[in-house]
Amino acid sequence: MDRKIRVLVAKPGLDGHDRGAKVVARAMRDAGMEVIYTGLRQTPEQIVQAAVQEDVDVLAMSILSGAHNHLFPRVMELLADKGASDVLVVGGGVIPEDDIPFLESKGIAAVFGPGTPTSATIEFIKANVKRR
């Protein structure tokens, strides 16, 4: 069998640009992953629908707008509704240290700050993805 790690890279909320997300997406491709890139201004509903239909192992979301404490938990809730809580969810963007414990308590597996090298994100995914 020929199993690949499938990742959805999504940008929830009203952010203005997605340069960072694109860099991460390319690095993931270069690490052999299949990356579904869905662009800017996704609603949590859209993100979860895409995660389910695309049957991804990993959902990587980046938020620059400051709405993470609302949007991330909402996505986790919707994933649970769809029985898709086994998806590994990671976050990135501009997220204050103080908010990380709260997000982790909601099921976000890891939060990567702006300076994080893409290789660290990729290593984390490879080590933590729940193979089926």
Could you list the residues that contact other proteins (CB under 8 A)?
Answer: 1-4, 6, 25-26, 28-39, 45-46, 49-50, 52-55, 82-84
The residues near 127 (Cβ < 8 Å, ≥ 6 apart) are none
CB 74 to other proteins: min, Å: 14
For other proteins, the closer of residues 32 and 113 by Cβ is 32
CB 53 to other proteins: min, Å: 5
For other proteins, the closer of residues 28 and 64 by Cβ is 28
**Strand boundaries in the chain, DSSP class E:** 6-10, 34-37, 58-63, 88-93, 110-112
For other proteins, the closer of residues 21 and 103 by Cβ is 21
- Which tokens hold the place of 32? 């052999």
CB 41 to other proteins: min, Å: 9
Which strand (E) or helix (H) includes residue 58? Answer: strand 58-63
- What residues pair up with 7 in beta bridges, in sequence order? 35, 58
